């Protein structure tokens, strides 16, 4: 049975690239009837950020990429579920020590007492000589007595992997095929740091083996380290899992996606009002392609369509305009009550509406929702769009718009429009539409000469949402007030 994992570090907000990695693991596990687990890799304590675990679990829960096993959050409580725990690496230190001792006893790892200053000197001299900087093996051949003497003297140490010389290490990657590296081009990787914590390279191999991981799906930045991981599996006499390294997500400049070019975290996008299902749909297509041209997928459809063999080798550019298009599609498909629920926090924060409106004007809010449905790509845009409608200073400054208001036909249009709105009891979208049709029939004003001046008189703009929807949202009193303010320009 397939068992795979998402194993991030608790170092801040969840990057969209990390969510894509989690998503691909999740889709593959679900497609094959396997298990998807979440493990926390927190062995680098210097990078730990308070709140990162909550942020991680919230992001996964909101996007529907929910682990079957490992670290989970239920009803606001963080817990660990499964038979292979602990699932937090800092709680597994005794386990790592046990296997580390095996490596040292078998001569596959060794103590290194080199100071930071010496290591820097070695690297500097290697760079000057045009060599690839790596550890020079100074402590590889210390005798057991020398090692014990230094330990007894309290000299700080690390433990390094003892790679054989001039051996080709190879493995098959599910995306790139056979990968080979010579050990002469690799470093004797640190396995245990001076603080007593293992490095990623030791912990990931031990954890993946003990947790029965069959497939490792992770970012391509780990590709150069994988031969050393494969060698560790050999040292322990374990079967290595299958490896699938995902292409990077790129900025427009084809460099790895970074904050320098805008939002990159899941939280950034959700805070702006991108729908989780749209973000998931978009990320699924960054690095993987279905067999046909389908672009809009539910999670269940993604599970059915997902195929590891269709993951691309080359990086995928994060196209924000494509994400916006996709999110707009999802917004258009929302039931009105869900659309309004998503809108409300943005409108309240901007002061466009208040809490009393939320409680007492549900029908009116649904009208606003319909007004915006086809005009926003994400919900944070709603306040800007509505600012064109809910104006404090209602003035017309555009010269072309003013020319429409000065037309002789506009004077007649203005008079009859005011009369008909004053005479109506309730001005909603259907009544607004009827009024415009009546004017067209009675006054023989039609087309651009009817709708453009009417829009300008009511909104101050030449373009915008459906005019009758605007009339519905603003209501009779506000529209009459605006028309009255237009009279000096038209008269």
Answering whether pTM is above 0.85, one says yes
Annotated catalytic residue: which of 98, 127, 259, 487? 259
What are the tens digits of pLDDT across the range 154-205? 999 999 999 999 999 999 999 999 999 999 999 999 999 999 999 999 999 9
What are the tens digits of pLDDT across the range 387-420? 877 776 677 878 888 888 888 898 899 899 999 9
Is 246 in contact with 314 (CB distance < 8 Å)?
A: no
Is 218 in contact with 21 (CB distance < 8 Å)?
A: yes
Task: Name residue, tokens 């427009």.
Answer: 252
The pLDDT score that the predictor gives to residue 392 is 65
Query: How many Cα neighbours within 13 Å face the side chain of 131?
Result: 14
H/E stretch holding 201: helix 200-210
Q: What is the mean pLDDT of residues 225-243?
A: 97
The pLDDT score that the predictor gives to residue 403 is 86
Helices H / strands E in the chain, number of each: 20, 13
Alpha carbon distance 86, 211 (integer Å):
10
Burial class (CB in 10 A: 0-12, 13-18, 19+), 395: exposed
Phi, psi of 182 (to 5 degrees): -85, 140
Alpha carbon distance 418, 490 (integer Å):
13
Annotation marks residue 259 as catalytic: yes
The pLDDT score that the predictor gives to residue 30 is 98
The pLDDT score that the predictor gives to residue 464 is 81
What are the tens digits of pLDDT across the range 270-298? 999 999 999 999 999 999 999 998 999 99
What are the tens digits of pLDDT across the range 44-58? 777 777 888 999 999
Alpha carbon distance 451, 390 (integer Å):
20
DSSP 8-state assignment for residue 84: S
Q: Which of 395, 399, 409 is nearest to 448 (CA)?
A: 409
Residue 204 CB: number of other CB atoms within 10 A?
A: 24
What are the tens digits of pLDDT across the range 101-120? 999 999 999 999 999 999 99
- Three-point CA angle 46, 84, 99, nearest 5°: 65
């Amino acid at each position: 049975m397939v068992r795979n994992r998402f194993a991030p570090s608790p170092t801040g907000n969840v990057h969209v690239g990390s969510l894509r990695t989690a998503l691909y693991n999740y889709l593959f596990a679900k497609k094959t009837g396997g298990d998807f687990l979440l493990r926390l890799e927190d062995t680098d304590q210097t990078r730990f950020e308070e709140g990162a675990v909550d942020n991680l679990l919230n992001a996964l829960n909101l996007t529907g990429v929910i682990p079957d096993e490992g670290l989970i959050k239920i009803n606001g409580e963080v817990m660990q579920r499964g038979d292979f725990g602990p699932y937090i690496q800092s709680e597994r230190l005794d386990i790592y020590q046990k296997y580390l001792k095996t490596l040292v006893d078998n001569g596959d790892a060794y103590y290194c007492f080199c100071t930071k200053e010496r290591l820097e000197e070695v690297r500097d001299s290697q760079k000057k000589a045009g060599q690839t900087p790596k550890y020079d093996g100074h402590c590889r051949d210390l005798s057991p007595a020398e090692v014990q003497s230094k330990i007894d003297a309290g000299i700080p140490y690390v433990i390094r992997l003892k790679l054989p010389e001039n051996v080709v290490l190879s493995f098959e990657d599910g995306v790139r095929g056979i990968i080979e590296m010579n050990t002469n081009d690799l470093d004797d990787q640190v396995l245990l740091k001076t603080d007593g914590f293992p490095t990623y390279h030791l912990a990931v191999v031990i954890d993946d083996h003990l947790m029965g991981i069959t497939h490792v799906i992770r970012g391509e930045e780990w590709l150069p380290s994988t031969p050393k991981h494969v060698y560790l599996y050999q040292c322990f006499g374990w079967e290595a899992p299958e490896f699938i390294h995902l292409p990077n997500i790129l900025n427009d400049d084809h460099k790895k996606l970074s904050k320098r070019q805008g939002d990159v975290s899941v939280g950034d996008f959700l805070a702006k009002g991108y729908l989780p299902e749209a973000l998931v749909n978009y990320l699924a297509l960054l690095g993987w392609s279905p067999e046909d041209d389908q672009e809009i997928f539910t999670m269940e459809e993604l599970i059915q369509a997902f195929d590891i063999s269709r993951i691309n080798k080359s990086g995928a550019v994060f196209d924000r305009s494509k994400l916006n298009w996709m999110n707009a599609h999802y917004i258009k498909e929302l039931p009105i009550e869900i659309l309004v629920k998503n809108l409300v926090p943005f409108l309240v924060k901007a002061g466009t509406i208040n809490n009393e409106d939320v409680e007492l004007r549900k029908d009116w809010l649904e009208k606003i929702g319909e007004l915006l449905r086809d005009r926003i790509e994400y919900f944070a845009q709603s306040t800007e769009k509505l600012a064109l409608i809910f104006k404090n200073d209602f003035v017309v400054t555009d010269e072309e718009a003013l020319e429409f208001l000065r037309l002789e036909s506009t004077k007649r249009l203005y008079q009859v429009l005011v009369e008909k709105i004053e005479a109506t009891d309730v001005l909603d979208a259907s009544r607004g539409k009827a009024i415009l049709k009546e004017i067209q029939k009675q006054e023989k004003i039609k087309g651009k000469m009817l709708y453009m001046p009417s829009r300008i008189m009511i909104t101050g703009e030449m373009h915008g949402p459906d005019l009758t929807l605007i009339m519905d949202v603003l209501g009779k009193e506000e529209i009459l007030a605006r028309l009255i303010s237009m009279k000096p320009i038209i008269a």
